[in-house]
Amino acid sequence: MAVQGILTVIKFVVIAIAILVLGLITSWIDRKVTARIQARVGPPWFQPIADILKLLGKETLVPEGAGRNVFLYAPVIGLAGMALAAALLGNALISPEVGFVGDVVVLVYLLVIPAIALIIGASASGNPMAAVGASREMKLILGYELPYLIVIATVIYKTGFTLKLGDIVETQALDGWNLWSISGVIGFFILLLSAQAKLGLVPFDIPEADQELMGGVITEYSGPPLALIRITKTMLLAVLPLLMVTLLMGGVQFEGLSILWGFLKYLVIVVLIVLIRNTNPRVRIDQALKFFWGPVTALSIIAFILAYWGL
């Protein structure tokens, strides 16, 4: 029993590291595609790794008047939540049978932890820019979380009330992808937009707003804590498209060539995210909130009703 437990822990760690590597590759793809869109050459392949290594080697500064412990532990908590979410999702993809009922719900909770940890850390830093960033991040979470949850509920409904990631994948293997229906297509776009907001990429990079808030929530972070935040963001960049592949596009199979097919599905979503990021200006926080609570939530409710009608 104990050996089993240790093996599971090792497996989870390995999966989390694998997802981090996938995230590093994705973040290079993101920067390279961005560069090509702007007719540039773009960074070399090791750029995301170099960024993180460099930050790990730098000095950690704690601003005067900051809550020292909260400020320094917030990124660790964020990374812990993120790593657990990554391990849970990866585990469900590699061996669909071992999950537990309700792991979708746990995953949804875990995915909010990095954002909340950032809010706590930013509030503890005692910087007005970070405070504004934290308040914006909070509003943004309230905005995107609602349609996101409704879409996930739609997917759960469509697969016959399965609350297990592995079962969602298996149901799709039998009945075809969730994407191939009107409600699936609507859900896909809503998940895409929410992923954009969760990642803090351009139309919704309001909390970090480089031009007005100088990095917003991460203004005061330097050195290793900033590296942890980067790692968390990198993993999120891999986990969100993977979650979309799992929920709507039949997951990733790990036998032979089908792993390439799985990677292709993943890549399509990543490139879509990058394209949205490069072709849109940033919106204001009130516009973002109106957008998510107005049309997007309405669409997600319509998707749910369509799913109820079997469309």
Residues forming contacts to other proteins in the complex (CB under 8 A) are 31, 35, 38-44, 46-47, 49-54, 56-61, 210-211, 213-215, 218-223, 226
Q: Considering the complex, state which of residue 17 and residue 185 has its C-beta at the smaller distance from other proteins.
A: 17
| CA 296 – CA 291 distance, rounded (Å) | 6
Residue whose C-alpha is closest to residue 20's, from 227, 233, 201, 194: 233
184's tokens: 């699936």
Transcribe 14-70 into DSSP letters: HHHHHHHHHHHHHHHHHHHHHHHHTT-----TTHHHHHHHHHHTS-----TTS-HHH
Q: Considering the complex, state which of residue 58 and residue 284 has its C-beta at the smaller distance from other proteins.
A: 58
**In the bound complex, what is the minimum distance in angstroms from residue 40's beta carbon to other proteins?**
4
Residue whose C-alpha is closest to residue 189's, from 310, 276, 283, 250: 276
**In the bound complex, what is the minimum distance in angstroms from residue 235's beta carbon to other proteins?**
19
What SS3 class is residue 281? coil
Residue 31: exposure state from Cβ atoms within 10 A (0-12, 13-18, ≥19):
middle
Count of CB atoms within 10 A of residue 41's CB? 8
96's tokens: 């669909």
**In the bound complex, what is the minimum distance in angstroms from residue 219's beta carbon to other proteins?**
5
Residue whose C-alpha is closest to residue 270's, from 15, 20, 5, 32: 32
Transcribe 108-120 into DSSP letters: HHHHHHHHHHHHH
**In the bound complex, what is the minimum distance in angstroms from residue 227's beta carbon to other proteins?**
10
**In the bound complex, what is the minimum distance in angstroms from residue 293's beta carbon to other proteins?**
29
Q: Considering the complex, state which of residue 11 and residue 31 has its C-beta at the smaller distance from other proteins.
A: 31
Q: Considering the complex, state which of residue 4 and residue 38 has its C-beta at the smaller distance from other proteins.
A: 38
Q: Considering the complex, state which of residue 71 and residue 188 has its C-beta at the smaller distance from other proteins.
A: 71
Q: Considering the complex, state which of residue 212 and residue 286 has its C-beta at the smaller distance from other proteins.
A: 212
**In the bound complex, what is the minimum distance in angstroms from residue 86's beta carbon to other proteins?**
23
Q: How large is the angle between the packed helices 103-124 and 223-248, nearest 10 degrees?
A: 150
**In the bound complex, what is the minimum distance in angstroms from residue 215's beta carbon to other proteins?**
5
